[in-house]
Amino acid sequence: MKCKKAFSLLLALLMLISVTTACSKAEWGYFNLSKEISQLERYATVGEFDINIDVIDSGGEVYKKLFDKYSFMYEIKVDMKNFIIDCDYYAKDKANGHIISVMNLKCDGNNYYVKLDGFINLIADFTDIEESNNLSEIMGDAEYISCSKEELTELLALAYGDDDLAEQMTSLYFNFGTSAKQNSKYLKLIEDAMKNVYDNYETGLIKQNGNKYSFSLTAEEALPVLISFVNYSIDNIEKLGPTLKSAIDIFINPLFTALGIRSEDLNLKDGVDIIVTEIGANKEEFKEQFNEMFALNEKELKAVMGNSKIDYTLEKTSDNKYNQTINLVLNFNDRDTNFAIFKGKIKANTSTYAINPFSVEIPEEKTISVNALMKELGIDPDIYFATDFTGKSVTIDLDSGFAFSGSGFNETVVNVKIINGASYLPLRAVGELLGEDVMWDNDKKQPYIVKNGNSIYLNAKVIGNASYVPMRELEKVGYTVYWEAQTNMVKIF
């Protein structure tokens, strides 16, 4: 395994373990208080976050308008043992303090219920999109959209083509006990790493003042902390090996399950053994190359991240509430032009505390199931969820141009052209989302795609040095093109 590959996998796993895994008195205190919160069986969390955007790249103007006007609040109650949840989300007018309901989410352990009318109205106030009006009309008198375990399992089975995987994913969404066990495993992993690997390591990040813990970190300070953490990890790679394998079981495998990806055949643990062996035999070489790599990226990091900063506090109060605050200053610059693409501040505060048993009021009337809603929207689940998760599908909003691949890992905005009343798609951009290589025949002045050794030429209009094709033209390459009239979205698979 080459150094670069070993570094990549090692860094990914170390990020999962967290750079706050260290053993000063303050760091142990912070860990134990976090663990205390996570072990609450029934709890309520109330909070508010406020986003102020100074600069945002083109396409984000709607978000700036929204966050200039409103901050957002939430009240969440959770019963981990009985799989019950009741969440209310609100928008608060920054000018006059007026609060409006945005969304309510309930779960009784067997069904989810979502009330979206406030959200629909809020979006309608800030966009020109007509879908919100269409959805309101389709909802009619219904106030809640419901989704049962059975419905979710059925939809996931259609989406991923795997009944067993669909059952596993449904369990993650409905069985809070699964989440609790997962969180318990995560805490055990961190605790074991602190005791057995990082017992002689301190970050110096976390400060303690009584029952209050805090840390502050700038983008410029983050790199030295990461370098110190990774160098210590390399020096103790033999002890770290079992922790890395546990991280795969606790983080990677459940994440892949949630994404609909099977991880059994990836042999990630074998990769850990190779990393431990290679790094263990060449520690100084790896540290030298690692430090050189980060030295090369230090200037670029400063240029891209600017004076970004995070301030965080966690405190247990005298009335047994756990209060957290986060203050983020975010400055992102384009790496090539150095122009600001986002500048803003995010402030958030939450308070979590134990509560007595509670029940949720389940709406027995004025509900519409997710299957019935899809039917009303003219969506055929068998076609809508026909997705090849190797990336061979793409969904495009013909109004906004927002497009994403079937895997969901690749998204962009494409320039859709309307020519003589028909929608034309930019061939190269869509081809990249589909994983196709779009070629150009300079003699014929025509684009083509190679399939099974055959060159398939497409009828295109060249506009501004880009080829645009009618949606149905991609059927020549073997794709199915499905257009949803209600949403004006096209799915190509």
Partnered with residue 111 across adjacent β-strands are 148
Say what the pLDDT of residue 136 is.
Answer: 67
Beta-carbon contacts of 280 under 8 Å, excluding residues fewer than 6 positions away, are 237, 238
> What DSSP state is assigned to residue 248?
I
Say what the pLDDT of residue 4 is.
Answer: 45
Please write the tens of the pLDDT for every residue from 52-105. Answer: 999 887 667 788 889 999 999 999 999 988 889 999 999 999 999 999 999 999
Over residues 377-389, mean pLDDT? 63
Whether 327 has a pLDDT exceeding 70, the answer reads: yes
Say what the pLDDT of residue 10 is.
Answer: 47
Beta-carbon contacts of 15 under 8 Å, excluding residues fewer than 6 positions away, are none
CA distance 72 to 101: 10
Say what the pLDDT of residue 7 is.
Answer: 45
Whether 221 has a pLDDT exceeding 60, the answer reads: yes
Q: Please give the single-letter amino acid code of residue 345.
A: K
Say what the pLDDT of residue 388 is.
Answer: 47
Structure tokens at 6: 């070993």
Whether 385 has a pLDDT exceeding 70, the answer reads: no
pTM of the model: 0.71
Structure tokens at 310: 């995070």
Partnered with residue 212 across adjacent β-strands are 209, 315
Please write the tens of the pLDDT for every residue from 264-322. Answer: 545 667 778 888 888 889 999 888 888 887 776 777 777 778 788 999 999 999 889 99
Residue 360 sits at φ, ψ, to 5 deg, of -110, 145
Beta-carbon contacts of 39 under 8 Å, excluding residues fewer than 6 positions away, are 184
Whether 407 has a pLDDT exceeding 80, the answer reads: no
